[in-house]
């Protein structure tokens, strides 16, 4: 891996990480304008993320390691896909390891872990216990 390739990968991951919430905010703003409303500011998803990072982590009582590992696998697979795809540059060191099958497999892995995390608490309501009121 060359220094230029590592730097390009870091820049690309930074652009994707910072740009994804801004893209969501821009789409919400444009949709609100098309509907004749003022709409939220473009940076609103970043404000929501800041608020969510301050909240306490809550997990159902009878969950396994899958419930804890699922968000990590989801974020990691999204970052690897962002590193494989040539968005900002083609000088990424991950260019030679990724193709369409790798991208689809990473998205499938993330989807499976999200489904397993949803099934892990063992109830239809994600840990809801009727005995606790």
Secondary structure in 3-state letters for the chain: CCHHHHHHHHHHHHHHHHHHHHHHHHHHHHHHHHCCCCCCCCCHHHHHHHHHHHCCCCCCCCCCHHHHHHHHHHHHHHHHHHHHCCCCCCCCCCCCCCCHHHHHHHHHHHHHHHHHHHHCCCCCCCCCCCCCC
User: Higher pLDDT residue, 92 or 9?
Assistant: 9
Instruction: Tell me the mean pLDDT in the region 37-65.
Output: 90
What mean pLDDT value characterizes the chain? Answer: 85
| Domain-wise residue ranges, the chain | 3-119
Look at residue 93 and tell me whether its pLDDT is greater than 70.
no
Confidence (pLDDT) at 37: 94
Look at residue 120 and tell me whether its pLDDT is greater than 70.
yes
What pTM, to 2 d.p., does this model score? 0.75
Instruction: Tell me the mean pLDDT in the region 91-118.
Output: 83
User: Higher pLDDT residue, 123 or 22?
Assistant: 22
């Amino acid at each position: 891996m060359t220094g230029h390739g590592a730097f390009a990968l870091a820049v690309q991951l930074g652009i994707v990480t910072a740009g994804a919430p801004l893209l969501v905010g821009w789409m919400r703003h444009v949709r609100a304008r098309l509907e004749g409303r003022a709409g939220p500011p473009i940076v609103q998803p970043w404000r929501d993320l800041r608020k969510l990072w301050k909240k306490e982590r809550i997990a159902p009582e009878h969950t396994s390691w899958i419930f804890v590992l699922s968000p990590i696998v989801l974020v990691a697979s999204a970052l690897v896909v962002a590193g494989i795809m040539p968005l900002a540059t083609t000088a990424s060191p991950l260019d030679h390891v990724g193709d369409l099958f790798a991208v689809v497999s990473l998205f499938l892995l993330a989807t499976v872990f999200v489904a397993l995390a949803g099934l892990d608490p063992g109830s239809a309501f994600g840990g809801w216990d009727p005995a606790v009121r």
